[in-house]
Amino acid sequence: MNRDETKGAWDQLKGEAKRTAGKVSGNESLEAEGNFDKGKGQVKEKYGEAKDRLASEFNNMIDKTK
């Protein structure tokens, strides 16, 4: 797990907490902020996964040329 994946997972957790707090308290703004943070976290996590896959494929390609 790289830094982007870790940050993405954290943002998702933080977003879910905000969303739940907003829903329980009736604060639509906090709920919306939580939804945004959760979505942002999902994007970061997927970016990190793609970056890992790309690095792995690149390294495999380099290894094959040796």
Coil/strand/helix, residue 60: helix
pLDDT, tens digit (0-9, with 9 covering 90-100), for 3-56: 999 999 999 999 999 999 999 999 999 999 999 999 999 999 999 999 999 999
pTM for the full predicted model: 0.84
